[in-house]
Amino acid sequence: MKPYTPSSSHPWNAQKINLLGRRLGFGCSLSDIDLYLKSTPDRVIDDIVGGAKNMAVTAAPEWEKWDNKQFNNSGNNKNYYHTLWQKQAFSDFLNNGFRERMVLFWSNHFVVEYLDVNQPAYLYQYYALLQTHALGNFKTLVSEMGLAPAMLRYLNGYDNNKNNPNENYARELYELFTLGEGNGYTQEDITETARALTGYNKYKTYLGEIEFNINTFDQESKTIFGRTGNWGYQDVIQLLFEEKKDLIADFISTKIYRYFVSPQPDKSIVLEMSKTLIKNDFELLPVLKQLFKSEHFFDAVNSNVMIKSPIDLMLGLHHSLSFQYNDNLDIELDFRNKCRDMGQHLFSPVDVAGWQGNQEWINSETLPKRWEYADYLLIKYWQKNKNQFKNFIQSLVGKNETDLRVIVTKLKDFMFCPYEMKEEEMADAIGVFKGEVPENYFEDGTWSLNDASVSSQVYDLMRFLIVLPEFQLK
Amino acid sequence: MKHQNPNELHAQSHDREHAHWDRRGFLRTLGMAGAGAISFGNSALSVVESPFLNQALSDAYSDRILVLIRLKGGNDGLNTIVPLYDFDLYAKKRPKIHIPQNNLYKLSDDFGIPNFMNPIAPLWNEGAMKVIHGVGYENQNLSHFKSSEIWATTTPDSQITSGWMGRYYEGKYSDYSLNPPEKPLAIQIGSGGDLIFDGELTTYSFSVSSPERLKRVAENGTLFDNQNNTNGLHGNQVFFLREASNTTFRYASVIHEAYENSKDFNAYNNDNFDVQMSLVSRFIKGGLGTKVYMVTLGGFDTHANQPTRHETLMKRLSHAIEAFYKDLGAFGMADKVLSMTFSEFGRRVAENGSNGTDHGSAAPIMLFGPALRGNGFIGKHPDLRALNNQGNMDNTIDFRSVYASVLTDWLCADSSEVSGSITDSNFDLLGLGLGCNGTENLPLTNDPLLPLHAAVNDVQGVSLYLTINEAAHVEVDIFDILGRKVGTTITTRLSSGQHNMYLLDKDKNRFAPGQYFYKIKVNGGKTYSKSFIVR
């Protein structure tokens, strides 16, 4: 994969930084852009990816290992804790950037639905697991995920014992987590794998730690991918990654590509990613760095082709502006609820296959909500401090700019990926920006970006821009 | 595999709480009023007893339309309605920029309009124009922005961010968000930042920044043009999103339909303001059913070179209004449409050093439409000899009284709707002579006097409105609450039709505030009486 090297025809600029910020993190603020502009793409990506790798796991709550009884005696219902942790996750998203982008990615890969699991400590443990291995080794992540209590509950590993085998997890392990539907496995493999995965059927205390119970483990021999033995849990993972590493690498590289680059995978790039994954024994860091540093990643063809998820939309707007809001606003709760209403309820994807994303995000119910909720944020900033809007535009374009088209274009370029705005929409945008200011103020030079009216002019312009169809793209 | 039926997702999300917040913004910037209901698009939500439906039924009896003409920037009232009665002083204050007497068209002995406004003279002569003198408010704020806000919200209180029309609609359509009407309640061109149609929770107008945009919507039936997108994945995604946005915004198609149902009238110029009026007319003629329109003519902040600039603006205004009423008249709808100008303030009485005028205070409001049934002046012109310390005129009529009167007399709002619309302030009803109370639609009876008579307070006193079927001799007496006759105010012969007359003229009669009765005796026989309040 050819690395991206800045040149006069492909300069390292705010647009590229914005692309990086929107895809790897949750948007770019003006200060992010300033900072990254001073550096090189190579160093910036090393910083982002390396920094995420070294980040500590979010501090555990006191209820990290509580069992059912402890929750029942706590005086709060389980949803209280669930919501608490979803809010924590949104706070982590905002603070930690890329690491949590990977957590979000994996939570839509190794799906659990928290309402099905219905045990807040399991949710925390699942979250901590995702954070720990978000940029670690994919094989290790697969291995540990299957034993996470949340997953044992959600895909019935807990119910899978030698007398009553349950194929649910075995099937999804291959179909959704590593190989893809019907890709390199048979129904026989699933049946046999399910038997090998038995034994995790014992609560130490009810809905507490789940222990391996040798008595419910199927100790007969199993044949998986043509290899026969008295296989257990770790053997399954070992066999899978020995026998099917090419398929796994292709499957997971494709998924990473689709998430970070484009819904239309480029086969040759995916092949290179697969090779890197295999060469590094499924370590994630090398392949991610390779991809993000590539010319292909920054190729204009791949810019502005992905439909934002609700979380992209809300957090991206919030972080890119980095405006203040009223202290009494529970913004994490707002994010949780509003993203839920737009179809992205954190830790509760639509089904085990996860959110399919892209155009699936948009329908006549979710689209008006996207308009409303993005606007809701702007309203909250406005209510806190109107001057933020004026200060922002001054930072973006300078205090002395008086050319309305230049101002509108620069704001558009900051809030959107590069695209050519239709001329009539540009005229509309300029009309909105003129707002309540008497026409002659623009003609006779009375108006400037220092005027009191500028705050509301920028506010109204932003409210106009966020409902343009292109705002849904990243 | 736990695959869920995707439809269940909608059912779930609909069960969940649906928070209220200030939704007005996106509604306003996009003119998205009505999109809220789409949020429930896939759910089985239905409201059986809808106040809106009832409202729609009652609205169906009235097809009156109000066009608000915003003269943005502060229109110079003195050069619009020129005070002939004090012409020398007027000319002395404005040596360079006054309208010379020989360039004036006389509306009456006391007032004239500049010749360049002649296109509206026929409206005056046909009884389709009235002028309300000296409209403003106390403690005039001289900022364009703040004063526009005050005119919209009806209060200097910055905490209140809803407008008078917005509150009027909010009172009327309490379930608007759940059951938005099929057509936009109001259409607003320009003035995107104006608060007039904002309620507490939503905005009630379809708002566009320019007539060009409205025309595109009207012609294409879509909010976003989806032609000529680029090729490739980006282009496909944009097409998908534009298509989804257009489907979601449903007013575009009804606007398009009304537009297609009507034809251009050839009297308009290719001028921004003419285009606005011509679009409004096409929607009216096409049966859109929107009752309130706001159009905007900007550029009135004439600090310099006022004579040329104001003349250009007034020519454009006059021409568009002339064309608009000719257009509607040819279609037979002119008497259904009342137009009203307004501006955030008038201008300083004395000219400044740049051939212009600085920000002022009171200014006239012009009303247009054959429904006015007569020309005339309402209220008193502010005294040019009693200026405040800024050199501005004191208002003689509060703008809120104008709003209240238009709501009452034209949109037939009841008193609770009016007081909901005009917050925290006192207002008087001016008696615009528009004859509300459903008079137009009531069947004639054998009774010589229709059961339609009412006393209305205005600044001048109390007016009596009555309608009779055939010419008759009419006597009106007034009684106090103890039944004592306190005056015979009217003895006259009236032709058939509607009439209004002063029961009490404040200048002539001094009545203590309180409750009174009037008794109307027709042809010396049958009597009709009703109580009324003197304020």
Based on the domain organization, do B100 and B175 belong to the same domain? yes
Q: What are phi and psi of B254, to 5 degrees?
A: -70, -35
Based on the domain organization, do B403 and B447 belong to the same domain? no
- What domain count does chain B have? 2
Q: State both tokens at A462.
A: 């932003």
Cα angle: B129, vertex B133, B134; to 5 degrees: 150
Is the pLDDT at A215 greater than 60, yes or no? Answer: yes
Based on the domain organization, do B306 and B366 belong to the same domain? yes
* pLDDT at residue B177, rounded to an integer: 66
Is residue A304 within 8 Å of A474, Cβ to Cβ?
A: yes
Q: Check CB contact under 8 Å for A432 and B9.
A: no
Q: What is the mean pLDDT of chain A?
A: 96
Q: Check CB contact under 8 Å for B244 and A441.
A: no
Residue B54's region, left for phi above 0, alpha for psi from -120 to 50, else beta, is alpha
Q: Which residue of A has its CA nearest to B21?
A: A376
Question: From CA B59, how far away is CA B37, in angstroms rounded?
Answer: 21
Question: From CA A6, how far away is CA B175, in angstroms rounded?
Answer: 57
Based on the domain organization, do B157 and B265 belong to the same domain? yes
Higher pLDDT, B232 or B483: B232
- Residue B40 belongs to a domain: no
Question: From CA A455, how far away is CA A394, in angstroms rounded?
Answer: 10
- Residue B28 belongs to a domain: no
Which of B369, B393, B421 terminates a domain? The answer is: B421
Determine which of A166, A458, A463 to mutate to test the interface with B (most B C-beta atoms within 10 Å). A463
Q: Check CB contact under 8 Å for A301 and B233.
A: yes
- Domain harbouring B454, CATH code: 2.60.40.3080
Tens digits of residue pLDDT in B21-54 = 333 444 443 444 333 333 332 222 222 233 343 3
Over residues B434-449, the mean pLDDT reads 48
* Beta-sheet strands, E only, within B344-484: 363-368, 376-378, 397-398, 449-458, 461-468, 472-480
Is residue B181 within 8 Å of B35, Cβ to Cβ?
A: no
Task: Give residue B382's Cα distance to chain centre.
Answer: 23
* pLDDT at residue B424, rounded to an integer: 66
Q: What are phi and psi of B212, to 5 degrees?
A: -60, -45
* pLDDT at residue A54, rounded to an integer: 93
Closest CA to B293 of B206, B183, B379, B179: B206
Based on the domain organization, do B485 and B359 belong to the same domain? no
> Where do the domains of chain A lie?
310-472
* pLDDT at residue B260, rounded to an integer: 93
A387-397 and A30-37 helices, crossing angle to 10°: 20
Q: Which residue of A has its CA nearest to B302?
A: A440
Based on the domain organization, do B250 and B324 belong to the same domain? yes
- Residue B370 belongs to a domain: yes
Count other Cβ atoms within 10 Å, centred on residue B512.
Answer: 8
Tens digits of residue pLDDT in A235-250 = 999 999 999 999 999 9
Q: Write out the residue range of the structural domain in which residue B527 sits.
A: 441-534
- Residue B218 belongs to a domain: yes
Based on the domain organization, do B270 and B298 belong to the same domain? yes
The 3-class SS string of chain A reads CCECCCCCCCCCCHHHHHHHHHHHCCCCCHHHHHHHHCCCHHHHHHHHHHHHHCCCCCCCCCCCCCCHHHHHCCCCCHHHHHHHHHHHHHHHHHHHCHHHHHHHHHHCCCCCCHHHHCCHHHHHHHHHHHHHHCCCEHHHHHHHHCCCHHHHHHCCCCCCCCCCCCCHHHHHHHHHHHCCCCCCCCHHHHHHHHHHCCCCCEECCCCCCEECCHHHCCCCCEEECCEEECCCHHHHHHHHHHHCHHHHHHHHHHHHHHHHCCCCCCHHHHHHHHHHHHHCCCEHHHHHHHHHCEHHHHCHHHCCCCECCHHHHHHHHHHHHCCCCCCCCCHHHHHHHHHHHCCCCCCCCCCCCCCCCHHHHCCCCHHHHHHHHHHHHHHHHHHHCCHHHHHHHHHHHCCCCCCHHHHHHHHHHHHCCCCCCCHHHHHHHHHHHHCCCCHHHHHCCCCCCCCCCHHHHHHHHHHHHCCCHHHHEC
Element (H, E) at B125: helix B121-125
Tens digits of residue pLDDT in A4-51 = 999 999 999 999 999 999 999 999 999 999 999 999 999 999 999 999
Nearest-CA distance B193 → chain A (Å): 6
Nearest-CA distance A326 → chain B (Å): 14
Is the pLDDT at B303 greater than 60, yes or no? Answer: yes
Is the pLDDT at B427 greater than 90, yes or no? Answer: no
Based on the domain organization, do B416 and B461 belong to the same domain? no
% of chain A surpassing 70 pLDDT: 100
Higher pLDDT, B200 or B14: B200
Tens digits of residue pLDDT in B350-373 = 999 999 999 999 999 999 999 998
Contacts of B301 in chain A (CB under 8 A): 438-441
* pLDDT at residue B472, rounded to an integer: 81
pTM: 0.77
* pLDDT at residue A214, rounded to an integer: 97
Over residues B72-76, the mean pLDDT reads 95
Determine which of B15, B237, B273, B359 to mutate to test the interface with A (most A C-beta atoms within 10 Å). B237
Over residues A273-283, the mean pLDDT reads 98
Tens digits of residue pLDDT in A368-419 = 889 989 999 999 999 999 999 999 999 999 999 999 999 999 999 999 999 9
Over residues B391-405, the mean pLDDT reads 95
Based on the domain organization, do B394 and B452 belong to the same domain? no
Q: Check CB contact under 8 Å for A469 and B245.
A: yes
3-state secondary structure of B534: strand
Is residue B425 within 8 Å of B400, Cβ to Cβ?
A: yes
Place of tokens 């992540």: A141
Q: Check CB contact under 8 Å for A350 and B4.
A: yes
Based on the domain organization, do B348 and B451 belong to the same domain? no
| Eight-class DSSP state of B64 | -
Task: Give residue B80's Cα distance to chain centre.
Answer: 19
Is residue B134 within 8 Å of B384, Cβ to Cβ?
A: no
Is residue A109 within 8 Å of A177, Cβ to Cβ?
A: yes
Count other Cβ atoms within 10 Å, centred on residue B17.
Answer: 7
Question: From CA A374, how far away is CA A467, in angstroms rounded?
Answer: 9
Q: What number is the ipTM of this complex?
A: 0.90
Is the pLDDT at B199 greater than 70, yes or no? Answer: yes
3-state secondary structure of B69: strand
Q: Check CB contact under 8 Å for A263 and B233.
A: yes
Count other Cβ atoms within 10 Å, centred on residue A84.
Answer: 18
Decide the pairing of beta strands B111-114 and B82-83.
Answer: antiparallel
